[in-house]
Structure 1
Amino acid sequence: MSATSTADATQPADAAAVAADLNEKQHRILAYLRDHAAEQTYFKSRLIAEELGLSAKEVGANMAAVIDAAADIDIEKWGYSSGTTWMVTR
């Protein structure tokens, strides 16, 4: 088995371990992004916050953990005009 295959085989278990360590806000953010990733690509922190009853600052502060735990979607900080925008792809 090559080193790449070994790394690929362990990644889901690592992602699952990281996901288990998420707090309640982080789980809600991740679930929101997963639920809406099929219908849209770009998400503003303030709009995620409005939907989840959080502040945009809370969303931004929790995104690093969400990004680490999101094995099934890719999340990338995309823009800063009028607040932070996140690009989410499957």
Structure 2
Amino acid sequence: MELPLLSIIIPVYNTEEYLTDCLNSLVSQMKQRVEIILIDDSSVDKSWSICKKYEKNMITYIFFSKDILDYLLHEILEFSMQKGIILAL
């Protein structure tokens, strides 16, 4: 299996108003070797259920509670740098 050529990381926090439109747009434009990663920082609206609906469409959904977010963000950045991925922050 080939690694994705492009990873799109979308932060999610109480974005139910426009999340469906955003994901529909991305899915309709997806080409091979593209992955979408949704990172939810403990949303309290319906963002979680929207993300779960799209999880099977080549989209990875990650839910973080606030107490471990800093640690995991560090781990994601470290992993990305090991893979040679350049991040724009």
- TM-score class, shorter-chain normalisation, is under 0.3
More strand, by proportion: 2
* TM-score relative to the length of structure 1: 0.26
Structure label with greater radius of gyration: 1
More helix, by proportion: 1
